[in-house]
Amino acid sequence: MNGYRRNRTCSCARCRCSGYIGPLVLITLGVLFLVDQYTMYGIGRTWPILLIVIGTVKLLQWNAPLTGHVDVSQIGPGAPPPGGPNPGGGAPPPSDGQQVSNG
Ligand SMILES: [Zn+2]
């Protein structure tokens, strides 16, 4: 084992691939139900396609490079997401030495 753990905030290829499996399973299920409804092939004969799709995504996921991967253990639970503490601009955080009172 290489100790890989998926990080939802990471944008490396492997983490992105692991996020594709849910939508692809839902799309495949929809296609299989359509095939069941409009062709002579029932869901009882076509369900292994779901396993093939899951296996293909897993294969792509584990062959995807880890370039730029941010490990979960490198960021604490309260740490800002990668890209800086304030990537979208906006108001700067209040300074510690001053109390701002309204009123
Ligand atoms: Zn990653």
Q: How many angstroms separate the alpha carbon of residue 11 from the centre of ligand 1?
A: 6
Answer yes or no: is 47 within a domain: yes
Q: How many angstroms separate the alpha carbon of residue 61 from the centre of ligand 1?
A: 11
Domain hosting residue 41, numbered range: 28-63
Nearest to 24 by CA among 55, 62, 45, 53: 53
> What band does 47 get if pLDDT is binned at 50, 70 and 90?
very high
User: Residue 54 has what pLDDT?
Assistant: 95
Answer yes or no: is 98 within a domain: no
Q: How many angstroms separate the alpha carbon of residue 40 from the centre of ligand 1?
A: 43
- Angstrom distance (rounded) from CA 43 to CA 25: 14
Answer yes or no: is 101 within a domain: no
Query: One-letter amino acid identity for 96?
Result: D
Answer yes or no: is 21 within a domain: no
Structural domains counted in the chain: 1
Global pTM?
0.63
Q: How many angstroms separate the alpha carbon of residue 57 from the centre of ligand 1?
A: 16
Whether the pLDDT of residue 26 is over 60: the answer is: yes
Q: Give the residue-averaged pLDDT of 77-99.
A: 55
